[in-house]
Structure 1
Amino acid sequence: MILFENVSKSYEIHKFQKQVLNNLSFQINRGESIGICGANGAGKSTLMRLLAGIEAPTSGKVTRGLKTSWPMGYGSAFVGAMTGADNVRFLARVYDRPEETLLAEVEEFAELGAYMHQPINTYSAGMVARLAFGASLNIRFECYLVDEVTAAGDMRFRKKSEDGLMARRKESTLIMISHDAGTLRQYCERGAVLYAGTLSFFDSIEEACEIHHGLQALSN
């Protein structure tokens, strides 16, 4: 499971403290698939970084009892000055996978060609997403964090990504954020809405999407 206990997150920007998340307490159990809705700037990416352990909360406690991926498509999973191949080899050592086996699997999936042997800082955002997606799927996490990455690549690559993610969903926990309600409905059973620093959970993704759209309408 993943457990948040009274978790808050704020940032100091030009001597002004911006409160992003406020006193969140919730539990995500093994095998759940949860879609998180929220407007731009609501704090969805901040929440994902806390779930992944990339950032620490300002206050409160996050407990991760599942082997959790970095957010797919999140560039900070990689070292920009290193090549794609060297980044994958490093991840193989961290997650105890045979280096050359994982590299071959990621090369086949990501389809980056010669760019696998170029520094990450020469990649486009889409290329980084493809590499992150390929590495995440082939390391086999217990919990996958997904941030809009299914939109990366052409139609054929998107179909391959969708099939791979759906296969992992059947055996792992999935937490996804997306602006596309159709994508959330495709992968997620439960839903949550992030609004004004709080996170509210709903029994169905459909209900969460409806609440989110209603809040958006009130804000316009």
Structure 2
Amino acid sequence: MIHLQNLSKTYTLNGKHKVVADDITATFPSGVSVALLGRNGAGKSSLLRMISGAMLPSSGKILSTGTISWPVGFAGSFSGELTGEQNCRFVARIYGVNTDELLYFVEDFAELGDHFRLPIRTYSSGMRSRLAFGLSMAVPFDTYLVDEVSAVGDAAFRAKSNRVFNQRMSTSGAIVVAHSMPLLRQICHMGAVLERGKLTFFDNVEDAIQMHMANMQLAQQTG
């Protein structure tokens, strides 16, 4: 369970204020996949970052009864001077998981060959993405945060990525940001719409999608 209690976040840029969370109180249930919808710039990624602990709110609290992932597939925290293996060892120690099991899973999944033991600064963007996704799936979490992740590589690798991700979703919950409505319908049960700093929860993901599409249409008519 993840509970947002009077959560607020305001950015100030060039003297102008932008509110992305306005006194939000809501609960993401355990073991449920929730689609997080909203127009571009609504603050969806900021909300995920606050839930993950990477960003502090302006006020309010985030309470959790389980473990929460970093945004799945995020490669920005890798040390470029360390090898893929060394980065994975570091994460294993932080999260207290079996290092050998994690290394075996990531090396097998990412299919990097000898590059797994070379500095990450030598990796292509696709190699970094495969390593990041594999590492995200190697650590068991109660709730996974998914922010616009798309599988990279050939068709066989994408199929493997989807298969592993679906396995994780069968035993864990998730908060998913994506522009693909078919994907959200496939993997999410509930939905939440972020609009003008307010979060509206729906027990049925289809109701959330309908509200989001109505907001998008209204924005086009008035914009």
Give the TM-score taking structure 2 as reference length.
0.91
Measured at CA, do residues 19 and 87 of structure 1 come closer, stay the same or move farther in structure 2, by a change above 3 Å?
A: same
The answer to whether the Cα contact below 8 Å between 1:73 and 1:128 also exists between their aligned partners in 2 is: no
Report SS of the residue matched to 1:70: strand
Distance 1:10 1:204 in 2: 29
Matched, 1:140 2:140: yes
- How far did residue 32 of structure 1 move? 1.1
1:178-200 residue CA offsets vs partner (Å, 9 max, x unmatched): 00001111100001111112111
Deviations 1:44-68, CA, capped at 9 Å, x for gaps: 1111111111111111001122111
Deviation, structure 1 residue 4: 0.5
Partners of 2:34 and 2:189 within 8 A in 1: yes
Assess, with a 3 A threshold, how the Cα gap between structure 1 residues 186 and 88 changes in structure 2: closer, same or farther: same
Preserved CA contact (<8 Å) 1:8 1:58: yes
Q: Distance in 1 between matches of 2:136 and 2:147?
A: 13
| Partner-residue secondary structure (3-state), 2:12 | strand
- 1:58–1:124 distance in 2 versus 1, CA, 3 Å: farther
1:69 counterpart SS class: strand
Higher Rg of the two aligned structures? 2
1:3 maps to: 3
Distance 1:13 1:121, change over 3 A: farther
Look up the match of 1:66: 66
Moved more, 64-73 or 129-138: 129-138
Helix, strand or coil at the partner of 2:71 = coil
- Please state whether the residue corresponding to 1:152 is helix, strand or coil: coil
Is the contact between residue 72 and residue 129 of structure 1 (CA under 8 Å) also seen in structure 2?
no
Q: Deviations over 1:140-167 (max 9, x none)?
A: 1111111122333332222111111111
CA distance in 2: counterparts of 1:34 and 1:191, whole angstroms: 5
Q: Residues 11 and 115 from structure 1, CA distance in 2 versus in 1: closer, same or farther, beyond 3 angstroms?
A: farther
Please report how far the alpha carbon of residue 121 of structure 1 lies from its aligned counterpart in structure 2 after TM superposition.
4.0
Q: Percent same amino acid at aligned positions?
A: 43
User: What amino acid is the match of 2:211?
Assistant: I
**Structure 1 unaligned regions, length at least 5:** none
SS of structure 2 residue aligned to 1:20: strand
Deviation of 1:170 after TM superposition, in Å, equals 1.3
Count of aligned pairs between the two proteins: 220
Q: Which runs of 5+ in 2 are unaligned?
A: none
Amino acid aligned to 1:189: H
Question: Which amino acid is the alignment partner of residue 53 of structure 2?
Answer: G
* RMSD, aligned CA: 1.7
| CA–CA distance in structure 2, aligned partners of residues 24 and 168 of structure 1 | 28
Match of 1:88 in 2: 88
- Most deviating of 209-218 and 78-87: 78-87
**Cross-structure match for 1:100:** 100
Deviation at 1:122, TM superposition (A): 4.2
Question: Hey, what does 1:12 align to over in structure 2?
Answer: 12
Distance 2:129 2:149 in 1: 6
- 1:159 matched to 2:137: no
Q: Which letter maps to 2:206? A: E
User: What CA distance in whole angstroms lies between the structure 1 residues aligned with 2:111 and 2:85?
Assistant: 12
Q: 2:21 maps to which residue?
A: 21
Query: Structure 1 counterpart of 2:68, which letter?
Result: T
1:129 aligns with 2:129: yes
- Stretch moving more, 167-176 or 69-78: 69-78
How many Å apart are 1:120 and its aligned residue? Answer: 3.3
TM-score for both structures, normalised by structure 1: 0.92
Which residue in 1 is equivalent to 2:32? 32
